[in-house]
Structure 1
Amino acid sequence: MNEVKSATTIAEIERELRYISGIIKQKGREILNNYPITTPQFIALQWLLEDGDLTIGELSNKINLAFSTTTDLVDRMENNLLVERKKDTKDRRVVRIYLLDKGKQIIREVIEKRQVYLQDVLNDVPNDKVESLYDVLYLLHNQMKMDKEKVNNK
């Protein structure tokens, strides 16, 4: 399992992932043009949908923005009725950000449109190749999560 991978192959994989990521981001921006949210707001709403309610600090860490920038972002989302700040039920000093129905609806619609785009792109690719692609991406993601845990546990 610890075979030495070709530097050229690794470079090609990194390049392809970068290109794919760029195309998906661009397509995502095109889709977001039809909604009253910015890309950073979309990313924040995705985290809230996936992880549930978060504090400003937790959200700030997940979206890699400064605490003050995240506060401004949440202010705008709250004004647009996408999220709501509530005091934590266990510790009244802690304020959590909750995703509201309007925010959930926007995220679901945007993700659905991104999935339709991907479906269209993969339409002519044989099913077994699509399954293999999923398997490899799943494996890569898990390897990256394990690597991140190793770094965090040091």
Structure 2
Amino acid sequence: MYDEHETKSIEKSLRYIASHVRVNGREILKHHDISPLQFVALQWVGDKDGITIGELANRLYLAHSTTTDIVDKLESGNYVRRDRSDKDKRLVLVSMEDKGKEVIQQVIDKRIDYIAKITKNLGEDERKILPAALEHVLEESERLTYE
């Protein structure tokens, strides 16, 4: 168990690293005229293809009308499309277009490149332990979140 000082240091490091990785990857968005919030929405659509506006609004913690505006913008850029549900014609589902998948992949590729750069000077022991340690921390965070 870590003491309070060590735990605070870990929290700060994880927060700063996540922010740096996110900001670096989002540099790609400047070439696509997509805002960071629109990109978050695009990621949710990618995670759950066929998501409703209501589900997306809940995940973004935004009003339905604001989320509709975001989807309108993404749809006009051919990043997503709207389709009627086959099961319930009242439902409109948002799905990813190839252009949206490409943008997400470009951002992920940029993030991977950045992570490679910031970890290139780790020692051999650090390089070996980091992926396993992070995977274990991720599993624990998911376990505690979804208990």
Q: Which piece of structure 1 moves more, 135-144 or 76-85?
A: 135-144
Cα RMSD of the aligned pairs, angstroms, is: 1.8
Match of 1:66 among 63, 68, 73: 63
3-state SS, counterpart of residue 95 of structure 2 = strand
- Does 1:27 find its partner at 2:34? no
Compared CA separation, residues 86 and 124, structure 1 to 2 (3 A): same
- Does 1:83 find its partner at 2:87? no
Moved over 6 A (4+): none
Identity of aligned residues (%): 36
CA distance in structure 1 between the partners assigned to 2:101 and 2:92 by the alignment: 20
Taking CA–CA contacts closer than 8 Å with sequence separation of 6 or more, which of the two structures ends up with the larger relative contact order?
2
Q: Find the counterpart in structure 2 of residue 147 from structure 1.
A: 144
- Does 1:111 find its partner at 2:112? no
Q: Find the counterpart in structure 1 of residue 121 from structure 2.
A: 124
Unaligned ranges ≥5, structure 2: none
Alpha-carbon displacement from aligned partner over 1:26-46 (angstroms, at most 9, x marks no partner): 213323222221111111112
AA aligned opposite 2:96: L
Alpha-carbon offset, residue 127 of structure 1: 5.0
Unaligned ranges ≥5, structure 1: none
Q: Find the counterpart in structure 2 of residue 39 from structure 1.
A: 36
CA distance in structure 2 between the partners assigned to 1:74 and 1:127 by the alignment: 45
Scaled by the length of structure 1, the TM-score of the pair is 0.85
